[in-house]
Amino acid sequence: MTAARTFWICFAVAMLDGFDTLVISFIAPAFAGEWGLAEAQVGRIFGAGLVGAAIGAVGGGALADAIGHRRTLLGCVTLFGLLTMGCAMAPDMGTLILLRLLAGLGLGGAIPAISALAAGSVGPDRRSATVTRMFLGFPLGAVVGGMVVAAMIGPLGWRSALWMGGALALLLVPVVFAWIGDARPGAHHGDAADMADAAREPVLGGGRRTAALSLFAAAFLILLVGYFLVSWAPTILVRAGATPERAIIGAVLLNVGGIVGALALTRFLDRVGPFRVAGLALLVGAAFTVALGGNLPSAVVATPLLVLAGAAVIGAQLTLPSLAAALFPPSARGRGVGFTMGVGRLGSIAGPLIGGEMLGAGLSDQALFACVAAPVLLSGLILRFADGRRPAAGQG
């Protein structure tokens, strides 16, 4: 199992996660119109897949540490692919909610496995940057998916996007089977000190309790805002005067901003420290989020501000698995990443739901984005606090 091969397969799974997460927001206007759904009802569909992903992340992390990352990844990707094809056949809102919930179990469970695989394929001096670069697949999947869906939804209908997502997942199964080795958790050649004892270590052990709990809290807040932005960006831009087609492109650009922001952060993660760099990015992101609530003259002005907010907030969001990989040793890494992303997914559930309620309540843009900026600011401060509470062995 070469590091490059592992990286690119995990990158492809992360792309699938990004495509699936964003495709539901891209096709939402179509199925909402077909079924006559209000914004709050659409928010429940957004939330269903995220609930499944939250449960799947925690369960998948425990499973990866117990039976191995390869087996966990194979099962989770297969489950997701089959159930996403089921989503394409959903006859009504209730069925779609149920199938999105179950499909989310699979995709959420894959995230701890690919995080641990990518982290274990390189040494500690490259770990944070490698895991973050691997998770650039998430916004890239959203960008590519958005462009493809924008082109195909008119002639082929919204269900075609779900058929495509399920098929892509199933195509990855033989790739994972053939090219990912069945490495046991913690079996990285560069972590001899961590491998001295193969016993499973408590997630909050080793002096990590305060830093880990702080990371979990920050993950909740970051994903709350990140998923609010990516789920409701098209609606926000339409409110600012954009056409639906331009609004989808604006949502794609939000994720482009996330890619650029995360790439910029990877230059400093291992040199300056991942917690410190991500915390600073979030403080900057809070300022851009507040600016989105100003009296903007048109969508032409709103779009670049949304991209800058995405560069900071989504860029920082993409570092979360690398923060967990840096904090937790190999024997607890699957569970550490799983808990981090599982708690974060709870925020990702709340974000679209709260967003739907706030947009439906008719809040002014100034009040709306002031509310959104508050958790961004708080998460940045929490990560700065956690940086000073990490055990020395967890550094890097």
Report the percentage of the chain scoring pLDDT > 90.
Answer: 38
Residue-wise pLDDT for 118-172, tens only, equals: 887 888 778 888 888 998 898 788 778 878 888 888 889 999 999 999 999 999 9
Query: Where residue 196 falls among pLDDT bands split at 50, 70, 90?
Result: very low
Amino acid at 301: V
Query: Where residue 284 falls among pLDDT bands split at 50, 70, 90?
Result: very high
What local confidence, expressed as pLDDT, does residue 395 receive? 42
Query: Where residue 199 falls among pLDDT bands split at 50, 70, 90?
Result: very low
User: Is the predicted pLDDT of residue 185 greater than 70, yes or no?
Assistant: no
What local confidence, expressed as pLDDT, does residue 297 receive? 53
Which token pair is 174? 């033989």
Q: Which residue has the tokens 């979360």?
A: 320
**Closest alpha carbon to 42 in 34, 32, 30, 52:** 32
What local confidence, expressed as pLDDT, does residue 200 receive? 62
Kindly provide the b/e burial profile for residues 177-197, where b requires at least 16 CB atoms within 10 angstroms of the residue's own CB. eeebeebbbbebebbeebbee
The whole-angstrom separation of Cα 156 and Cα 161 is: 9
Residue-wise pLDDT for 28-60, tens only, equals: 888 998 999 987 788 788 778 878 988 999 998
User: Is the predicted pLDDT of residue 346 greater than 60, yes or no?
Assistant: yes
Which token pair is 120? 């274990």
159: CB partners within 8 A, 6+ apart: 88, 89
What local confidence, expressed as pLDDT, does residue 138 receive? 84
The whole-angstrom separation of Cα 377 and Cα 219 is: 13
Whole-number average pLDDT of the chain: 84
Which one is predicted more confidently, 336 or 66? Answer: 336
Average pLDDT over residues 289-315: 77
pTM of the model: 0.80
User: Is the predicted pLDDT of residue 249 greater than 90, yes or no?
Assistant: no
What local confidence, expressed as pLDDT, does residue 295 receive? 66
Structural domains in the chain plus CATH codes: 3-181+201-394 (1.20.1250.20)
